[in-house]
Structure 1
Amino acid sequence: MTQAPTPTADTVRRLVRSLLGESAEPDVRPVTEGTEPATWWVGARCVLRLAPDREAAVRQRRELRLRELVRPYVSVAVPTSVAHGEWAPGLTYTLDAKVPGESGEDHDVSALGEADLAALLTGVREVPVGQAETLGVPRAAPRSLETLREAAERAARRLAEADEFDAARPERLTRAATVQLAAQPGAAVLVHHGLAGEHLVVGADGRVRGVLGWTDAVLGDPAEDIAGLALSVGSPAAVRAATLAGYGARPCLRGLWLARCDTLVQLVAALSGRSAASASGPLPVPLPVSLLRTRLRRAWEPILLERVTELREDGMDDSAAGGRDGGTGGGAPA
């Protein structure tokens, strides 16, 4: 197999000059420092993303088509490609216009921002599954919450020994609850599958201005996107947004517990120097322990009725409580 070339600042400058003209002197710098950065700032208005291997190139080509499909259904900005092609044989690039705003990891989302997230969830759900499948968007089976619960219990015990977490907190997620919160048949929709803070573009006013990172989108369990939001904006805000989007208690609570279990497993893995999976699949790069601790805190923020009651199975799908101080009720039902 031919070794893929390593992208460098000179590689990026040559590529940008070929797109913008030989007289261009672009200021290029990696978005994230690393040995082989694949995403670069180009001046103040563009972002260049280089596929590092052929599998990533396939996903990037699919993403370009998917963004055009999604755009009419969502009210927030989806990146627009200024130019795209190959930067090396078989390896693609896209030069995207920068979406104005800052990373969701750095700004809190306001009440209006929660409404933006609700509109996003609604719009993504309305994208025709058949059209997305025609573009090559893969289907992903719902994850087993019981398997994740068992891993999270082990992780919670290890974190408790390290004084990082209260091991008793996951006790509300019982084996019976995982059955009750199983994904419902026929519920597959388009799922962004990466609604982490770095993919949310938030304005200084707390409004959500755009959503990046559509490469890993799948047709699958909508609770995964609710889980991603719990890691990004906290469980109460995520559940409120999902409720505004029309999701009932079952997918809201399933997303909540996917996120909570994920944060435990991920933090233990990071503290022990191993890789782990996220609410939306394997983590592409190791995340700082400090960020994983922040995500754990966000995911484990209590939601209003969780403190005082438990939801029962009867009517669970129709239960949709709101409120700025807590969102849909309950932890997992016993």
Structure 2
Amino acid sequence: MTQAPTPTPDTVRRLVRALLEGGGASGSGPEVRPVAEDGSPFTWWVGARHVLRLAPDAEATLRRRRELRLRDLVHPHVPVAVPTSVAHGEWSPGLAYTLDAKLPGDTAEEHDVSAVGEADLAGLLRGLREVPPRQAEALGVPRAAPRSLEALRRMAVAAAERLARADEFDPARLHQLTPLGAAQLAAQPATAVLVHHALYGEHLLVSADGRVRGVLDWTATVLGDPAEDIAGLALAVGSGAAVRAATLAGYGARPCLRGLWLARCDTVVRLADHLKGTAPGRQDPEALSLPRTRLRRAWEAILLERVTELREDGGSGAAGADEEG
């Protein structure tokens, strides 16, 4: 596979000057700067009104091109904004770019979501469920099999022991999810819907009053388990807000609790991965800040888990709760 060239500010300026000035070469063009704080060269702010995303390889090019069509399909179904492209093409042979209009709002890492914002998230989840799967498949959106919660639980149990040695997490908290409980929360057949699959804080645009105004980055979207988006929201806005939004969207206890435990197990495993190979007292607090914050959000105690028991005797509980509300 051909190695993609590394985009430079000059590369980006030449591209956007041609796009925004109709091909003219005069003037210095708009200010350009990398979006990521780490200086990643494939996503750039262009002035105050646009964002340029450059695909680094053939796989990303395929996702970028599919995203353009997918956003048009999703837009009529959801109550929040999705990005719109003002130009697209190739920035290097075989490698795609999209120049999108910048959406207003900051990320959910900067603003808390209000009660009205939770209703916006409910509308988002409801709208994704309404997108016809056949139309999504026709655009090339792949199907993704549900993850095994029991396999993830076992990984989290091992990771929790490592976190306990680093004084980061009490592994007894995972005892709430038993093997039988994980089996009860297995994904149900014939429940695949359109799943954004990356509803993290950096992809949710939230206004200062707590409303959710837009959702970014639809490149990871699949047809699959709706609990994955509930899990993503738990990492972004906390388990309480995520479950309230999912319940308002019409999801019952099983998918809500499944999403909750996917998020909790994921955060334990990911924090342990970040700590792996790092000597005690030598960790980078900044690098660990987001994994720790996501773990805290996912492990918020919520009312639903107090009133919906995961019974060892196989009696009533999550498995007997409403499937989809």
TM-score, structure 2 as length reference: 0.92
The separation in 2 between residues aligned to 1:319 and 1:131, in whole angstroms, is 22
Tell me which residue corresponds to 2:158: 154
Partner of 2:300: 301
Residue in structure 2 matching 1:263, options 246, 261, 267: 267
Aligned position for 2:321: 316
Q: CA RMSD in A?
A: 1.6
Deviation at 1:46, TM superposition (A): 0.5
C-alpha distance in structure 2 between counterparts of 1:263 and 1:171, whole Å: 16
Distance 1:75 1:309, change over 3 A: closer
Secondary structure of 2:144's aligned partner: coil
Q: Are positions 1:20 and 2:20 aligned together?
A: yes
Is the partner of 1:114 in helix, strand or coil?
helix
Q: Hey, what's the Cα distance between the residues in 2 that align with 1:211 and 1:313?
A: 30
Contact 2:34 2:40 in 1 (8 A): no
Identity, in percent, stands at 74
**Pairing 1:172-187 to 2, within 5 Å after superposition:** 172-187=176-191
- C-alpha distance in 2, partners of 1:168/1:227? 21
Maintained 8 Å contact 2:250/2:324: no
Please tell me whether residue 118 in structure 1 is matched to residue 122 in structure 2. Answer: yes
SS at match of 1:143: coil
Could you tell me which amino acid in structure 2 is paired with residue 175 of structure 1?
Answer: P
CA distance, structure 1, for counterparts of residue 153 and residue 248 of structure 2: 27
Residues 199-249 of structure 1 deviation map (CA, whole Å, 9 limit, x = unaligned): 000000000000001000000000000000000000000000000000000
> Which SS does the other structure have where 2:174 is aligned?
helix
TM-score (norm 1): 0.89
Task: State the 1:310 CA deviation.
Answer: 1.9
Gaps of 5+ in 1: 275-286, 321-334
Report how far residue 42 of structure 1 moved.
Answer: 0.3
Deviations 1:124-157 (A, max 9, x none): 1100000000000000000000000000001111
For residues 188 and 318 of structure 1, do their structure 2 counterparts lie closer, same or farther at Cα, with a shift above 3 Å needed? closer
Instruction: Please report how far the alpha carbon of residue 35 of structure 1 lies from its aligned counterpart in structure 2 after TM superposition.
Output: 5.7
Matched to 1:82, the amino acid is V
Instruction: Give the secondary-structure state (helix, strand or coil) at the position aligned to 2:322.
Output: helix
- Once residues 313 and 268 of structure 1 are traced to their aligned partners in structure 2, the CA distance between those partners, rounded to angstroms, is 28
- Larger CA deviation: 9-18 vs 304-313: 304-313
Quote the Cα distance in structure 1 between the aligned partners of 2:35 and 2:303.
38
Aligned pairs (5 A) from 1:227-246: 227-246=231-250
CA contact (8 A) 1:249 1:318 kept: yes
**Which of 75, 99, 102 is matched with 1:95 structurally?**
99
